[in-house]
Amino acid sequence: QVQLVESGGGLVQSGDSLRLSCAASGRTFRDYHIGWFRQALGNDREFVAGINYKGESTLYSDFVDGRFTISRDSDKNTVYLQMNSLKPEDTAVYFCAATVAGWGRKRPVEYRYWGQGTQVTVSS
């Protein structure tokens, strides 16, 4: 079992940067692929980025367009999402999630463990 806690959200202006952290507890964290998702008010939860259990492969949604970078530090049991050039449409609650369902999964239902989320608000 894995427990996930997100942090790093906040209120920023358009064009600013934020780094989100997803701290995990549990001995088996290294066995999980990790994904970042977001959910804006009134919208479905959508995939943002993913990193495989070794940290060797990453995957991004098209809307990221080179602005975000996902990484993981297995020694610290933490996955990061560096977000640059933020836009108002990036405003959402951001969640990290863990899966052993196989690499490259983008559907929320394919992720077993979830954090509580951290709010990101980008003003224009």
Q: Give the tens place of pLDDT for each residue, 45-102.
A: 999 999 999 999 999 999 999 999 999 998 999 999 999 999 999 999 999 999 988 8
Give the pLDDT of residue 1: 83
Please tell me the least confidently modeled range out of 7-11, 22-26, 42-46.
22-26
3-state secondary structure of 2: coil
Cα(84)–Cα(15) distance, rounded to whole angstroms? 7
Give the C-alpha separation, 113 to 124, whole Å.
33
Nearest residue to 115 (alpha-carbon basis) of 100, 94, 92: 94
Q: Are 32 and 13 in contact (CB under 8 A)?
A: no
